[in-house]
Amino acid sequence: MARLWRFFRRFLRHKKQLIGGFLCIPLAQLADIAITVKIGGALDRLRAGSPTDFLAGIFWIILGLSAFKGVFRYLQRWWIVAVSRYVENELKQELFDKLVSLPLAFHARSRSGDVVSRVTSDVENIRMFLGPGVMYTLGAVVMVPASIALLCTLNAPLALTMILPLVLMGFGMKFFTPHLHRWSEAVQESIAEISSRAQENFSGIRVVKGYGLAAQQCARFDEASERNRQNQVNLGRSRGLTHALTHAANDLTFVTILVLGGWAMIDRSLPAGDLFKFIDLTFKVFWPIIALGWIAGMYPRAYASAGRIDELLAEQPLFSDPHDALRLSSPRGALTLRGLSYTYAGAAKPAVSGVSVDVPAGSVLGIVGPTGSGKSTLVLCLGRLLEPQGVLELDGIDVRRLALSDLRACLGYVPQDSFLFSERYRDNIAFGSDTELSDARIQELVELACMKDEVAHFPKGLETLVGERGVTLSGGQRQRTCIARALARDPRVLILDDALSAVDTETEAQLLANLRRAGEGRTVIVAAHRLSSVARAERILVLGKDGRVEAQGTHAELLERPGWYRETWQRQQAQKELSVL
């Protein structure tokens, strides 16, 4: 319970609405009971043979009480459920902020589906338990004792016996719930089976058709479908049992009232109007009690969810800034790497191993190598997205002595997956800058990234949405947009992680020229598959499969030596020739 208590306290912070809502609950419930009392009283007066003119008054009283009850029911729901939504949003925001602050290592090891479900369904489980859960619990807590107390004043033995069936139902539920859980899990599993059978068939449809397997596949699918039907039928049986049990409790309560109430009437110890009160209040108490059962069923889920949320909130960033962090006022952009290595958690071998190189401010460094040689890893280490071993200096200062924000402020980064947001095109470019950008500046960036003509053809120009709901950009367009975004912050060091692969060679040449022209004195790091991207770099690092530097030098120097670089260059040239045939 302690685990959920913390979330409950967060809920209680919204004092005003909750106090209001909590006050409404007894008012509404008491009005509801009063209606029953009024009707019962009227019946007694009728039997006593009093004149009927009081009936009009009773009618208006009932309407008035009902309106009164309605207003408080409305307010109670409106306030309490709304608070549960506020708390939901607060939690989601807190989780979100946590997530964006966590290091790449965390994101690399966690499945995004799992993380998303913590922010969505786990938060929802807690909200349901805190909001509607608390509201219904309080409702039942007021309604049940108040009704029973009232009925006790009329006929205590009857009122107390009435509770018996409810208690029996409680025990019965305890017995049936495990069955419900078991079968609903079985149903989930068999649905998953159907889904994976279908998935497998549809993805392997060429083999299915090629080998004429349709009949066999149908038979297997039918099997899974039948298994699911069986489980569903069994689940239906368990549901039927709980359904019957709940109603049985209700029916038995009525039996009790008929027996003891009828007997008491014969005994003349219970007036007819009071018997009516028993009947009507049983109708009214029944649903709050059902709700209690429902909430009890929610508890284990909410508890588990609270644990999963706590776990995420307890994640810590890998490193924090030193207290005596040095401030960089005007960085130049010179990088020094000494024995830089990085090993992914759980990996046997380092992805990058012992890389040493000097990158003078304003120079271009190319990083090439076969797939899996650690190009991206190395580039990520430069922005401390991954925390490498060895020495990394910016302008001669160890980056660990700098504030992380200062280091990143002077970096522009173009990711390999050319990630863009589903926002307006201009927002995607402006995302790169710490300050507001003028239209003129955005136009300039678009031009630098060789996107001017294409953007002009977008339905709404710069205002066009990117993604499913707007324009779908080609790989090359995405890459160029990412470059514009990186240039928007006018970085001292620009990092391109295989960011030109989908751009045709002509545009690539133009882009590289633009980058050179616009970035006087800017350091550029280009990791690439296509060697033409790095051919004009001052220095090229060739990484090997083991993440070590296999060779380095200028393009001309590397071409002179036999090895991966020369072979790859020749192959790529041949490919280029072929493509123009």
Partner 1 sequence: MSSTDLDPEEDDLVSSKAWDNAILLRLARYAKPHARLFYASFGVLAMLFMLDMLGPWIWRHALDGPVHAAVSARERDPAADIGTFVRQFWYWVGGYLLLVALSVVFRYHEVAQLNRTGQTVIADLRSRLFRHMQSLDLVFFDRRPTGALVTRVTSDVENLNEMFTSGLVVLLFDFVKIVGVLAFLYWLNWRLALVVTAGTPFLIGVSLVFRGGARRAHRAVRARLSRLNGYLQEVLQGIRVVQVFRREKAVSARFAQHLDGYLAANLKTIFLFALFFPVIDFVVSAIQGTTLWSGGLSIAGAQLSYGEFVQFWFYLALLVAPIRELGERYNILQSAFASAERIFDILDTRPTLEPEREKTSPPGFSTLPLRGHVRFEHVSFSYTEGTEVLHDLSFEIRPGETVAVVGATGAGKSTLVNLLLRFYEPSSGHITIDGHDLTELDPARLRRAVGLVLQEDFLFAGTVKENLILERESVTEESLEEALAASRADELVARLPGGLAHPVAERGATFSTGERQLLAIARALAGDPRIVVLDEATASVDSNTEAQIESATRKLLEGRSALVIAHRLSTVRRATRILVLHRGKLREQGTHAQLLAQDGIYARLHRLQFAESAG
Q: How far is the CB of 1 from partner 1 (least distance, A)?
A: 27
SS3 state of residue 558: helix
96 binds partner 1 (CB under 8 A): yes
> Residues with Cβ < 8 Å from 275, sequence gap 6 or more?
257, 261, 262, 264, 265
SS3 state of residue 482: helix
344 binds partner 1 (CB under 8 A): no
Q: How far is the CB of 307 from partner 1 (least distance, A)?
A: 21
Contact segment (CB under 8 A) with partner 1 among 4-12, 255-263, 329-337, 354-362 equals: 255-263
Binding residues among 188-207 for partner 1 as defined by CB under 8 A = 191, 194-196, 198-207
Q: Are 529 and 565 in contact (CB under 8 A)?
A: no
Question: Which residue's CB is nearer to partner 1, number 134 or number 552?
Answer: 134
Contact with partner 1 (CB under 8 A): which of 11, 30, 69, 359? 69
86 binds partner 1 (CB under 8 A): yes
Binding residues among 210-249 for partner 1 as defined by CB under 8 A = 210-218, 221-222, 225-226, 228-229, 232-233, 235-237, 239-241, 243-244, 247-248
Q: What is the 3-state secondary structure (H, E, C) of 316-375?
A: CCCCCCCCCCECCCCCCCCEEEEEEEECCCCCCCCCEEEEEEEECCCCEEEEECCCCCCH
Count of residues engaged in binding partner 1, rule: CB under 8 A:
133
Residue 13 burial (C-beta neighbours within 10 Å; 0-12, 13-18, 19+): exposed
Contact segment (CB under 8 A) with partner 1 among 41-49, 292-300, 344-352, 499-507 equals: 41-49
**Dmax of the chain from CA atoms?**
120
Binding residues among 557-576 for partner 1 as defined by CB under 8 A = 567, 571, 574-575
CB atoms closer than 10 angstroms to residue 26: 17
Q: How far is the CB of 311 from partner 1 (least distance, A)?
A: 17
Beta strand 335-342 pairing with 389-394: antiparallel
Question: Which residue's CB is nearer to partner 1, number 55 or number 164?
Answer: 55
Question: Which residue's CB is nearer to partner 1, number 39 or number 325?
Answer: 39
- The span from the CA of 257 to the CA of 159, in Å, is 9
At 544, which helix (H) or strand (E)? none
Q: How far is the CB of 295 from partner 1 (least distance, A)?
A: 18
Angle at 457 between CA 455 and CA 460, to 5 degrees: 75
- The span from the CA of 55 to the CA of 555, in Å, is 103
Between 54-101 and 272-313, two packed helices, what is the crossing angle to 10 degrees?
A: 10
Q: How far is the CB of 153 from partner 1 (least distance, A)?
A: 21
Contact with partner 1 (CB under 8 A): which of 25, 33, 34, 35? 35
Contact with partner 1 (CB under 8 A): which of 153, 320, 330, 405? 405
- The span from the CA of 409 to the CA of 434, in Å, is 9
Q: Bridge-partner residues for 352, per DSSP?
A: 342
Question: Which residue's CB is nearer to partner 1, number 363 or number 376?
Answer: 376
Q: How far is the CB of 53 from partner 1 (least distance, A)?
A: 10
Beta strand 493-497 pairing with 335-342: unpaired
- The span from the CA of 570 to the CA of 545, in Å, is 20
> Residues with Cβ < 8 Å from 442, sequence gap 6 or more?
426, 429, 430, 462, 488
Per-position x/- string for 98-117, each x denoting binding to partner 1 as judged by CB under 8 A, each - no binding: -xxx--x--x----x--xx-
18 binds partner 1 (CB under 8 A): no
Contact with partner 1 (CB under 8 A): which of 97, 453, 506, 520? 97
Question: Which residue's CB is nearer to partner 1, number 385 or number 391?
Answer: 385
Binding residues among 123-152 for partner 1 as defined by CB under 8 A = none
Contact with partner 1 (CB under 8 A): which of 254, 303, 344, 458? 254
93 binds partner 1 (CB under 8 A): yes
Q: Are 284 and 140 in contact (CB under 8 A)?
A: no
Question: Which residue's CB is nearer to partner 1, number 243 or number 349?
Answer: 243
Binding residues among 527-556 for partner 1 as defined by CB under 8 A = none
Binding residues among 468-507 for partner 1 as defined by CB under 8 A = 469, 485, 489
Helix spans in 383-534 (H): 404-409, 425-430, 439-448, 452-457, 475-487, 505-518
- The span from the CA of 375 to the CA of 527, in Å, is 6
174 binds partner 1 (CB under 8 A): no
Question: Which residue's CB is nearer to partner 1, number 210 or number 459?
Answer: 210
- The span from the CA of 367 to the CA of 572, in Å, is 17
Question: Which residue's CB is nearer to partner 1, number 215 or number 348?
Answer: 215
Question: Which residue's CB is nearer to partner 1, number 42 or number 295?
Answer: 42
Question: Which residue's CB is nearer to partner 1, number 107 or number 400?
Answer: 107
Contact segment (CB under 8 A) with partner 1 among 10-18, 96-104, 336-344, 537-545 equals: 96-104
Q: What does 393-414 look like in DSSP terms, one character per residue?
A: EETTEEGGGB-HHHHHHTEEEE
167 binds partner 1 (CB under 8 A): no
Question: Residue for token digits 């990412």?
Answer: 482
Contact with partner 1 (CB under 8 A): which of 1, 9, 15, 266? 266
Region of 242 (left: φ > 0; alpha: ψ -120 to 50; beta: rest) is alpha
| DSSP annotation of 474 | P
Q: How far is the CB of 107 from partner 1 (least distance, A)?
A: 5
439 binds partner 1 (CB under 8 A): no
Question: Which residue's CB is nearer to partner 1, number 374 or number 415?
Answer: 415
Question: Residue for token digits 């779908």?
Answer: 472
Chain centroid to Cα 219, Å, comes to 38
Per-position x/- string for 367-396, each x denoting binding to partner 1 as judged by CB under 8 A, each - no binding: -------------x--x-x-----------
Q: How far is the CB of 2 from partner 1 (least distance, A)?
A: 28
Contact with partner 1 (CB under 8 A): which of 14, 25, 33, 73? 73
CB atoms closer than 10 angstroms to residue 421: 12
Question: Which residue's CB is nearer to partner 1, number 71 or number 303?
Answer: 71
